[in-house]
């Protein structure tokens, strides 16, 4: 996942959801897709947490460090 972007992860998650919603997927494949989806969700969560910290620090700097 080193070349993963947030947008790419979200697109892959959408594809996984579509596959899991279809009834034409084997249990083994569904488990693999589910595991991959969990990894993508963790990536997105970490990405968004990092951006939240960045925005918070920018707001503190803009307000003179009072937040």
Which one is predicted more confidently, 38 or 66? 38
Residue ranges of the alpha helices (H) in 1-67? 6-21, 27-62
pLDDT at 67: 46
Burial class of 20 by CB neighbour count within 10 A (0 to 12, 13 to 18, 19+): middle
pLDDT at 1: 65
Please, which pLDDT band fits residue 65 given cuts at 50, 70 and 90?
Answer: low
pLDDT tens by residue, 10-64: 999 999 999 999 888 999 999 999 999 999 999 999 999 988 888 888 888 777 7
Return contacts of 64-67, CB within 8 angstroms, 24+ apart: none
- Residue 24 has a CB neighbour count (10 Å cut-off) of 6
Which domains does the chain possess?
6-62 (1.10.287)
pLDDT at 20: 93
């Amino acid at each position: 996942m080193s070349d993963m972007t947030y947008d790419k992860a979200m697109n892959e998650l959408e594809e996984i959801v579509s596959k899991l919603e279809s009834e034409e997927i084997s249990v083994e494949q569904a488990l693999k897709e589910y595991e991959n989806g969990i990894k993508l969700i963790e990536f997105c969560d970490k990405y968004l947490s990092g951006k939240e910290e960045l925005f918070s620090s920018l707001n503190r700097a803009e307000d003179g460090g009072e937040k």
